[in-house]
Amino acid sequence: MISRMPRGQGSSVSTREKPKGDRAVDPNEDNCKHRRGAYLLLGLLIVFLHGSWSVYRFQFGNLPLPLDAKQAGKRGFSEASALEHVKYLTSLGPHPVGSDSLDIAIQYVYAVAEKIKTTAHWEVDVQLELFHTDIGANRLSKGLFKGKTLLYSDLKHVLLRVVPKYMPEAEENLILVSSHIDTVSTTEGAGDCSSCVGVMLELARGVAQWAHGFKSGVLFLFNTGEEEGLDGAHSFITQHHWRNSVCFAIDLEAMGISGKSTLFQGTDHWALESFAAVAKYPSAQIASQDIFHSGAIKSATDFQIYQEVAGLPGLDFAYTDTTSVYHTKNDKMKLLKPGSLQHIGDNMLAFLLHSAASPNFLKNAQQQKQENTEQNKAVFFDILGMYMVVYSQRLATMFHNSIILQSLLIWGTSLLMGGRSGLVSFGISCLGTILMLIFSICLPVVVAFILPHICPFPVPYIANPWLIIGLFGSPALLGAFIGQHIGFILLKRHLRCVYAITKPGLTHNTREYVIDLEAERWIFKSGFVQWLIVLILGTYFKVGSSYIALIWLVSPAFAYGFLEATLSPVRLPKQLKVVTLVLGMAAPVVSSAGLAVRMADVIVGSVVRVDRNPGGLPDWLGNVIVAVAIAIVICFMFVYLLSYIHISGDKRSLGLLLCIFFGLSLALVSSGIVPAFTEDVARSVNVVHVVDATGIDDGNREPLSYISLFSNTPGKLTKELVDLGDEEFFCGRNMTTDFVTFTMKYGCWSYKDSSTGWSKSEVPTLRVESDSVTDGARQTVISVDTKSSTRWSLGINKQEIDDFTVQVDSEKLVLLGDKTEVDGWHTIQFAGGKNSPTKFQLTLYWSNSATETSRREAKEGTHVPLLVKLRTDVNRVTPQVTNVLEKLPRWSTPFGKSTSPYTLAFLTGLRVNI
């Protein structure tokens, strides 16, 4: 036998046993130069992270230059002009429904609209109306308001209709542009949604100069009552005489403040294509729509009314920057980024001019409104904020199915050619992927559990979201590598047995090196399987954002196929090329890295209000949510990059670097060097003066009065009480308060000076007018008097009550039937203006088993639950609440929402055994 002595080694390989193609793998040379060094791996990691951040900044932070009135011209959009409106509205302070400041805001919007009317093009007819609503009831079937009946009265809206003078049919075909003037009681609402109102006023001014060429009219609706349960949109869509002429709806909203206003909900393919065709700076993500519809984000917009109640096609836009300031004092002008209003203004003006002038758009809108089908659903997303991709859901399903089928065929053929050993290798590589996910989640979750015990606040990264990279990203990445490396080791053990049988002539060094290379390839290819499974599940459940899985599967697979794959099973594997990783990752990073960063930012910002029943969730839960989200993103986005590390000789150096980064981040948050909250990004803390008359029996007892302190942000109130030391607060889980719409399960009470600032005449009453049984059916009539309050919530025990009606004067406002429940209660929420009624008649129809149950509980003397419970709100700050608010630290802020009480709340109720 003739053998060739390799250079630098004393081993030999038969030329018959080693094919010519194997010369690329020469273990007799210095193997170290084949191994990737720490600098190369660190460089790849930096390039990947920097590239992802650059994509995010370019896609979501690249705002247009704001224009003043002169630069925009008579027909353009000027951010400077829009900001003048925002500045005035925010100067009014909070302006919730029923407040004097809201009346002033409405008058201002009406005055600006009148000016738009007088300066419109001479061939354009601008019709202006101040709409005063009747009392109404709204009951939605899904989402945030499931299990509720929303009542409203005495709301005022400003409507501005722009139509061409010489085309009367345009009045019967309107494009609705809608947003709300009102705010919650805790904020001046620069983002939510004075910015939207300012944009709409400037849009109306511009549209009034173009509308003489329109085929459709444009209706601008400045509504009130959105913050109290979408009442404004519902009152318009059910009461106003222009409602039947609306064919298409556009809603402008804010879930944060400034940045790009992103299209996050869209109903129809043709509408999305129209927007994509003309938008100057397209920003649109169907992933946001998927998350919103999943219920993960507990919020709602007027778009739900337009879609569910009116059956209208449309588009929904929202600001999502800095979501931590949502509904707090920090939603202010100071944080509005230059270019934010110019971005949505330019996009919307271009879209309105195009759609209102297009006969095809009008035809599609009319047809969709009449048919109300879901066949026109589409997938949509933008690329770097420069180009928007839109294609139908049907096409997406066909394309995805084709890719899935081809992938399964390729994998099936590959495994068939590889035989039993290939199938086992495939299984082990998949096991490595599972272990990667498990370890990647477990390590940051452990950190999430630890943080509340070593940091001043359980969520210490809200004001500085970049800290999550070290706190959760580093352990998640380390865990992902550990899990994948375990799979790599198991795979090497299997391949040693295979090569001992199939390649007995290879030397030990050669075999070990080749095994490393083949194991690396299997680990790399396991990423295909991971994304293929996601694509299959997403396609099956018709998740629009499944396109992300498609890109992460196809692009690396093509790069691998062109640069790495061979058709000869005899050839020994080569080392994976770095260029394969770079080319394979380019398209996925460009298409989805920015979105991943934005979603992480939104999740972090939402943690400040994650506890909907204060104290009802463990302190670590918010951290766990963030940790799991970060781990999942890392597992899926780093799956290909991690496979390049396993045959490196510098794994320990990289692991040490991640540990150091984690340690530094942990030291910063645990020591308080980097504050958890700041004046601009504050912690949610609510102060409410509570007057509880629930325990009063026949007027023989005084109401219980106290100052309540609670937070929707995880964690106790220890730090806040440092500044409130002389206010005599005592805290605990025995301070439970049932606020009807939610329950405070942990908070603080203070009885100090709580008897002032309110009077007994303000305590609401529930009086039984009649209680009768007819043919075995029990019926109880209760009169409800909310006294001076025009904002209240009433809970009805659905375990006892089968149905109910609500009557105002002689008008039945809520009829029998169609009552859902949540946790055994149906809740009625009422919000109205100053002239709203305060006396109601509630008729309860008991369930068949309720009477016997109630009698037995009363006879046995056990705890008898409430039949109905009532909370009334008064938008007044009592002297003691003023004192507490002034002493609260600057990094805390009240948080408002439709279910939160005002600063003065009265509680009462009726027992089941009435």
* CATH code, 167: 3.40.630.10
Spell out the alpha helix ranges (H) of 127-256. 195-207, 231-239
Distance CA 369, CA 306 (A): 11
Q: How many CB atoms are located within 10 Å of the residue 138 CB?
A: 22
Closest to 617 measured CA to CA, from 625, 384, 551: 625
Question: Is 642 within 8 Å of 481 (Cβ atoms)?
Answer: yes
Q: How many CB atoms lie within 10 A of CB 64?
A: 18
> Based on the domain organization, do 178 and 131 belong to the same domain?
yes
Tell me, yes or no, whether 407 and 327 share the same domain.
no
Residue 710 resides in a domain: yes
* 8 domain residue, yes or no: no
Q: Are 189 and 89 in contact (CB under 8 A)?
A: yes
Give the closest residue to 707 by CA, choosing from 722, 696, 721: 721
Burial 338-359 (b: 16+ CB within 10 A, else e): ebbbbbbbbbbbbbbbebbbbe
Yes or no: say if 429 and 523 are a contact pair by the CB < 8 Å rule: yes
Cα–Cα distance, 513 to 575 (Å, whole number)? 10
**Closest C-alpha among 404, 368, 204 to residue 274:** 368
Pair (398, 290) in one structural domain: no
Domain end among 356, 384, 412: 384
Task: Tell me the C-alpha distance between 385 and 594, whole Å.
Answer: 10
Domain boundary among 357, 384, 411: 384
Instruction: Report the distance separating Cα 914 and Cα 911, nearest Å.
Output: 6
Alpha-carbon distance of 122 to 500, in angstroms, equals 90
Residue 22 domain-assigned (yes or no) = no
* H or E stretch covering 362: helix 359-371
Predicted pLDDT of residue 650: 76
The first and second tokens of residue 754, run together, are: 């709580």
Q: Which residue has the tokens 């006892």?
A: 800
Q: Which helix (H) or strand (E) holds 344?
A: helix 340-357
Question: Using CB atoms within 10 A of its CB, is residue 438 exposed (0-12), middle (13-18) or buried (19+)?
Answer: middle
Q: Residue 414 burial by CB count (10 A; 0-12/13-18/19+): exposed, middle or buried?
A: middle
CB atoms within 10 A of CB 768: 13
Strands 791-797 and 825-832: antiparallel
Sorted by sequence, the CB contacts under 8 Å of residue 132 that are 6+ apart come out as 154, 155, 156
pLDDT at 567: 59
Whether residue 695 is found in the same domain as residue 740: yes
Tell me the three state secondary structure of residue 270: helix
Site of tokens 């951010």: 79
How far from 202 is each of 82, 130, 255, CA to CA, in Å? 6, 19, 21
**Within a domain: 1:** no
Q: Is residue 714 assigned to a domain?
A: yes
Residues 420 and 371 placed together within one structural domain of the fold = no
Question: Does 192 lie in the same domain as 102?
Answer: yes
* pLDDT for residue 862: 52
The widest CA-to-CA distance across the chain, in whole angstroms, is 112
- Same domain assignment for residues 285 and 401: no
Class of residue 852 by CB neighbours under 10 A (exposed 0-12, middle 13-18, buried 19+): exposed
What's the pLDDT tens digit per position in 534-548?
A: 999 999 999 999 999
- Cα–Cα distance measured from residue 210 to residue 431, given in angstroms and rounded to the nearest whole number: 62
Give CA–CA dist 712/606, Å, rounded. 10
Whether residues 574 and 438 fall in one domain: yes
Distance, CA of 615 to CA of 742 (rounded, Å): 11
DSSP character string of 202-213: HHHHHHTTTGGG
- Mutual orientation of helices 393-454 and 508-540 as an angle, nearest 10°? 110
Which residues touch 293 (CB under 8 Å, ≥6 apart)?
none
Q: Where does a domain end: 639, 671, 703?
A: 671
pLDDT beneath 50: ranges in the chain: 1-25, 27-30, 32-33
681: DSSP letter: S
Q: How far is CA 888 from the centre of its chain?
A: 29
What element of type H or E holds 894?
Answer: none
Both tokens of residue 409? 């065929």
Helices (H), 672-793: 718-723
Alpha-helical runs (H) found in 61-180: 69-72, 79-91, 100-118
Q: How far is CA 790 from the centre of its chain?
A: 31
Residues 6+ apart with CB under 8 A from 440: 476, 477, 479, 480, 483, 631, 632, 634, 635
Domain identity same for 368 and 401: no
Is residue 575 within a helix (H) or strand (E), and if so which, with residue range? Answer: none
Which residue stretches of 638-763 are H helix? 639-642, 651-671, 718-723
Owner of token pair 């009802």: 616
Give the span between the Cα atoms of 793 and 774, in whole angstroms.
30
Identify whether the C-beta of residue 903 lies closer than 8 Å to the C-beta of residue 689.
yes
Other beta carbons within 10 Å of 758:
20
Residues 195 and 104 in one domain: yes
Helical ranges in 503-577 per DSSP H: 508-540, 547-563
Residue 549 lies in a domain: yes
Beta strands (DSSP E) in 693-809 are: 704-710, 730-732, 737-738, 743-744, 747-750, 765-774, 777-785, 791-797, 801-808
Task: Give me the domain span that covers residue 594.
Answer: 47-56+394-671
> Residue 404 to residues 26, 217, 317, 560, 599: CA-CA distances in angstroms?
37, 45, 33, 17, 27
Q: Is 355 left (phi over 0), alpha (psi -120 to 50) or beta?
A: alpha
The answer to whether the beta carbons of residues 871 and 905 sit under 8 Å apart is yes
18 inside domain: no
Q: Assess whether 540 and 448 both reside in one domain.
A: yes
Exposed e or buried b per residue across 15-31, where buried means at least 16 C-beta atoms within 10 angstroms of its C-beta: eeebeeebeebbbbeeb
Contact in structure between 826 and 875 (CB atoms under 8 Å) = no
329 and 463: one domain? Answer: no
Is 111 exposed, middle or buried (CB count within 10 Å of its CB: 0-12, 13-18, 19+)?
exposed
Residues 83, 339 contacting (CB under 8 angstroms): no
Q: How many domains are there within the chain?
A: 3
Residue 14 lies in a domain: no
With helix as H, strand as E and coil as C, how does 433-476 read?
HHHHHHHHHHHHHHHHHHHHHHCCCCCCCCCCCCHHHHHHHHHH
E strand map for 199-324: 217-223, 246-254, 261-266, 314-319
